[in-house]
Amino acid sequence: MKVVVLGCGRMGSDLAYRLFQLGHEVSVVDLSPAALNNLPADFTGRIVEGDALNQDVLHRAGIETADAVAAVTNSDVLNVVLARLARTEYDITHIVVRNLEPIYKPMMEAFEVQFVSAALWGAQRIEELLSSESMRTVFSAGNGEIEIYEFVIPPEWADAALSDLVSGNNVRPMSITRTGKAFLPENSDILQEGDILHISATFEGAEQVRHQLERKG
């Protein structure tokens, strides 16, 4: 996977290095040479010094062929702008944004941006979300202790019972959307390929569901 990381502070450099160690092709962009020096010496991804709002800089980072973008600067507003730019100008759908101040969460939700609270989760959480295309965070409650996640049911889980996928104390099924119509699910409901499943869960509970989906796939 090719990932562009916008921002190379403590979180950005940690995230870029984690992704690099996992074997992904990583580009890092930051306006500050000092920030880019946060990267470990053995990082051999692409390093681009410049303003992430400058499209020439983004092209040097290879954004036009990127699979995913992480906007992790120290500005909530800038992160949202960068996420929208990546989506609208470069048709990138796999985007995760860093959220620093809770007051900006409604803006991120309004723009339908997947975000991670910097107060509670760090680079590891963003790396896990970027590395997985099977789940998406659509709402965060409190400081992120409980979130609503969206999963698309793959062919391998068609005809399985919901209870086979969602169980335990850390996760609750909320809704299933099928052919454009949503309904409140029962544990005995049979899943169909393409169903959109929403759950409320802790991060551990969501990871449990994601691993279940991937294990059967």
The 10s digit of each residue's pLDDT in 117-144 is: 765 556 766 776 676 556 777 777 776 7
For the structural domain made of 2-131, what CATH number should be given? 3.40.50.720
Closest listed residue to residue 82, CA positions, set 53, 108, 47, 105: 53
Note whether 156 and 210 are within 8 A (CB): no
pLDDT of residue 133: 59
pTM score, whole prediction: 0.65
- 148-216 maps to CATH 3.30.70.1450: yes
pLDDT for the residue 122: 66
CA angle 62, 64, 66 (to 5 degrees): 70
b/e map 152-163, b = 16+ CB within 10 Å = bbbeebeeeebe
Structure-model confidence comparison of residues 196 and 45, the more confident one: 45
Q: Residue 121: left (phi > 0), alpha (psi -120 to 50), or beta?
A: beta
* Mean pLDDT across 98-103: 87
Distance between CA atoms of residues 99 and 168, nearest Å: 29
Percentage above 90 pLDDT, the chain:
58
Q: What is the pLDDT of residue 201?
A: 94
Q: pLDDT, tens digit, for every residue of 185-207?
A: 999 999 998 888 999 999 889 88
What does pLDDT average to over the chain? 88
What residue spans define the domains of the chain?
Answer: 2-131, 148-216
